[in-house]
Amino acid sequence: MSENLPNKHSSIFKIRNILKTGAAVFGLSAALLIVLPAKFLELLSLDGQSEPLIWSMRMIGITLVALTGNMWINSLQVIDQNLQRTAVVMSISATSLGVVTLLIPADLNWFSISFAIVGFGFGAAYLVALVLKRF
């Protein structure tokens, strides 16, 4: 009976938890982007008064809602092999988010650096879990 229970130390269990945590972070970001897009832009040292940028931030927020839902559902239901593929995609995406955030066409500040660190952190977490899965 205990064989069917998830091992809290397994890489698959860790990937599932990383996905759940990432879903929570993206969900919070999505809410901020939808409700307070101008504030998010200001935090990134971008023009918080630009209607096209505000519109773009809301569109990104709505897209993040979909990603949040998919991450949460995958963390609960996807078979192990597909979960590993999801982790590869998420590692590349999270790391890319960190890089793009550092390349922002504005002065880097505490928020943009923190945002980049979060992206790099998730990218590294997925990568470590994937490497550990191989051993």
What confidence tens digit (pLDDT) does each residue in 46-81 have?
999 999 999 999 999 999 999 999 999 999 987 888
Looking at the domain assignment, is residue 5 inside a domain? Answer: no
Looking at the domain assignment, is residue 79 inside a domain? Answer: yes
Looking at the domain assignment, is residue 104 inside a domain? Answer: yes
Exposure string for 117-126, b = 16+ CB within 10 A, e = fewer: ebbbbbbebb
92, 123 Cβ separation under 8 angstroms: yes
Looking at the domain assignment, is residue 77 inside a domain? Answer: yes
Give the rounded distance of the alpha carbon of 56 from its chain centre.
18
Looking at the domain assignment, is residue 28 inside a domain? Answer: yes
- With a cut of 50, say whether residue 13 has pLDDT above it: yes
- Please name the residue that has the structure tokens 């064989």: 3
Dihedral class, residue 45 (left if φ above 0, else alpha if ψ from -120 to 50, else beta):
left
Helix/strand/coil percentages in the chain, nearest 5: 80, 0, 20
Looking at the domain assignment, is residue 47 inside a domain? Answer: yes
Q: Which pTM does this prediction carry?
A: 0.86
Query: Mind listing the pLDDT tens digit for each residue in 81-133?
Result: 889 999 999 999 999 999 999 999 999 999 999 999 999 999 999 999 999 88
Number of domains in the chain: 1
Which residue range is the domain that position 90 belongs to? 10-134
User: Given this model, what pLDDT does residue 6 score?
Assistant: 55
Looking at the domain assignment, is residue 3 inside a domain? Answer: no
What is the total residue count of the chain? 135
Query: Mind listing the pLDDT tens digit for each residue in 17-40?
Result: 999 999 999 999 999 999 999 999
